[in-house]
Amino acid sequence: MLNKINPWKNNNPSSSLRERIHEIKEHEVPGHVAIIMDGNGRWAKKRALPRVAGHHEGMKVVKKITRLANELGIKTLTVYAFSTENWKRPKMEVDFLMKLPEEFLGTYLPELIEENVRVDMMGYMDKLPEHTKKAVGKAMEDTRENTGLTLNFALNYGSRAEIIEGVKQVLNDIKNGIINENEIDEEVFSSYLMTRNLGDPDLLIRTSGEIRLSNFMLWQLAYTEFWFTEVLWPDFNEEHFLEAIEAFQGRQRRFGGV
């Protein structure tokens, strides 16, 4: 029997929140939820704080939402932590962002292991600093046997680069006789992407009021339900997450049918 993370470890939720969780679990929950965690810098600016303060506060939100996602029975939670375009940001901010996985996993890994959560990553690890690669690699290794929620970090990830790389691999396999070009369909091509073992997201959440994909999982989001909120990521809480899940449950997914 899998352990369940208690999302309310350090809180005393109202009975209404408990009822909402119970009601949500009585219906189909999204198997894979992806989140574009936007608004950390604006959150800090509103408080006359450096941008890195917003990123640090946002890290705490990842912990809360991971606990709740596991409690709800969601299988995969993908968080967009750092894009291939984010290297353009000021060096101090980039250096801080590269230290966050080490801090996050260093303090949270024991709980992830205890609660049967598996850590995964998609992105270009070879370009990350050694200390970041070491922290992520250790977390992936220490949790690889876990069978509960998969917490998937999109770190140094860009969807266009992923698709181009996938095309190159397909062409190489055709050239080497591994596959025939007539065998290529959506399912086959999907197996060349970084999400090959995760499946496509059922629900995408983006915070901070921005309504765009920002080069995130462009192929995989073809039939995903989108949910946008004006709330900045550091202010995003369990109630907001439940609201997104409830909205998902209220929609009819037809996948092009009627």
- Please give the positions annotated as active site: 38, 86
N-terminal to C-terminal alpha carbon distance within the chain:
39
Q: How far apart are CA 22 and CA 4, in angstroms?
A: 14
Short-list 185, 160, 145, 232, CA closest to 168:
160
Strand residues in the chain grouped as ranges (E) = 32-36, 76-83, 118-122, 150-157, 203-206, 225-228
Task: DSSP for 206-236, please give it.
Answer: E-TT--S--SSSTTTTTTPEEEE-SS-GGG-
In one-letter notation, the amino acid at residue 241 is F
**Left (φ > 0), alpha (ψ -120 to 50) or beta: where does 31 sit?**
alpha
Please classify residue 150 by burial: count the beta carbons closer than 10 Å to its beta carbon, then call 0-12 exposed, 13-18 middle and 19+ buried: buried
Q: Vertex 128, ends 122 and 130: CA angle to 5°?
A: 120
Question: What sign results for the dihedral spanned by CA atoms 243, 36, 203, 27?
Answer: negative
Side by side, the strands of the sheet bearing 150-157 are 118-122, 150-157, 76-83, 32-36, 203-206, 225-228
